[in-house]
Amino acid sequence: MLLLIGIWAFVLFTGTTSDTVSFTDFEFGDTTDPNVIIPESLSNSENQPEVHEEANQRLHQLTTKQVAGFAEINTNTNGRQVYYIETGTGHIFSIDLETRNQERVSATTIPLASKGAITPNGKHVLIQSNTGTRGQFVVGTLTDGSDRLSNVPLEQDIVSFAATVDNNFIIAVTEGNGLAVLVYEPITDQLIPQFTIPFREASIRWHHTAVGPHIVYPKATSRLEGYVYSYLNGVVTRHNATGYGLSAVGSSAAVIYSAVDGERYTTYSLATDQLISNNTPVTLIPEKCLFTRTSDTTAICGATLDEPPYLMPDPWYQGRVVLNDSLWEYNTNSQSARLLVFPESATGRQIDLINPQLGPDDQHFYFQNKVDQTLWMYQYKNTFN
């Protein structure tokens, strides 16, 4: 009997030797560390009050309105702010990150505004009104002393877009059977070609610079096999990452991708100079992940500890599955994943994380809740460096 108890205790506290990674692989460290937020099921409950208080200080819901786009803005006059575009109206609001005061900076209505991007200087916005084939696009410029946008329509058939660190926009437009990627300069009203993608049904994870690397893969479905490409300075590289239901996110150093392996949704990491992938310690939907700007081997991700449903990611895309995410920090070099915060434990709200975005210095990790499209922020500290 004592021998059986000893074996049981060894398995419980050291994990298993199977290919599936146990909780002991997450390297949580001391649970009293205020940067490590562990749900009650994974920690001693006597440590919870201190951790909860710290989590509430770091995790903030910034809006109750639905948000179509957002960006952290840093100006010499107004300090650090977040600008966001209100869904439906296209009105633009600012949030002071110190006082949390909100102010409307643009009252120009963009009917049916559904998606938007804002340049880091807060001067220009690209807003999509309506969706699909009925989508229309306008670039607006904010001027000091006015709450009106000066708008310029873009006539191209845009399928994806983002703002870049040099206060321009990078866009993908249909061209023949594929896509053309261009940089739009709002100051000069010029379009500058960058590269082409040889297929239309592409998902693009934009880098914060125009040169990239930008991660491209066919739109994910569990019924079709996908591949991962990266574009850096207009040069394409195909990575050794394939699978059904594949989606990906990447940096100059690594790619994180998930795909259906047999009947199981599985996540891998692949160094960009290697051919062999590693299983990640946490199963991730890559759309919930973003590599930090200060470390190209560290990503912040939303992930649930529950077993992913069969035929992912289709049920999540279609809204038939709602996930209850925690925030994780994952390092592709050390293959370590550390729990940052469990929003439901910290705030009482369940978060199905989408649209991750970092501020320019990685101090603030922004995301939306897919359930209600509200904007959230986590004050981030890199624990791997």
Instruction: State the pLDDT at residue 245.
Output: 96
Query: Which regions of the chain carry the CATH code 2.130.10.10?
Result: 64-200
Residue with token string 């439901």? 344
Instruction: State the pLDDT at residue 54.
Output: 58
Amino acid in the structure at residue 311: L
What DSSP assignment string belongs to 233-294?
TTEEEEEEEEEEEEEEEE-SSEEEEEEEETTEEEEEEEETT-S--EE-SS---GGGEEE-SS
- What class does CATH assign to 26-61+211-385? mainly beta
Helix (H, G, I), strand (E, B) or coil at 157: coil
Integer Cα distance of 343 and 320 in angstroms: 21
Query: Which regions of the chain carry the CATH code 2.120.10?
Result: 26-61+211-385
279-294 pLDDT, tens per residue? Answer: 999 999 999 999 999 9
What is the phi/psi pair of residue 103, to 5°?
Answer: -145, 140
Instruction: State the pLDDT at residue 361.
Output: 92
Integer Cα distance of 322 and 370 in angstroms: 8
Instruction: From 8, 5, 6, select the one nearest 16 (Cα to Cα).
Output: 8
Q: For 373, left (φ over 0), alpha (ψ -120 to 50), or beta? A: left
104-144 pLDDT, tens per residue? Answer: 999 999 999 999 999 999 999 999 998 887 889 999 999 88
Give average pLDDT by consecutive 10-residue segment, the chain, 385 residues: 39 34 33 37 39 65 97 81 97 94 95 97 96 90 90 95 98 97 97 97 98 98 96 97 97 97 92 95 96 96 87 93 95 94 92 97 96 96 70
pTM recorded for the entire structure: 0.85
Which residues are registered as beta bridge partners of 202? 218
- What class does CATH assign to 64-200? mainly beta
At 379, list the tokens.
């004050």
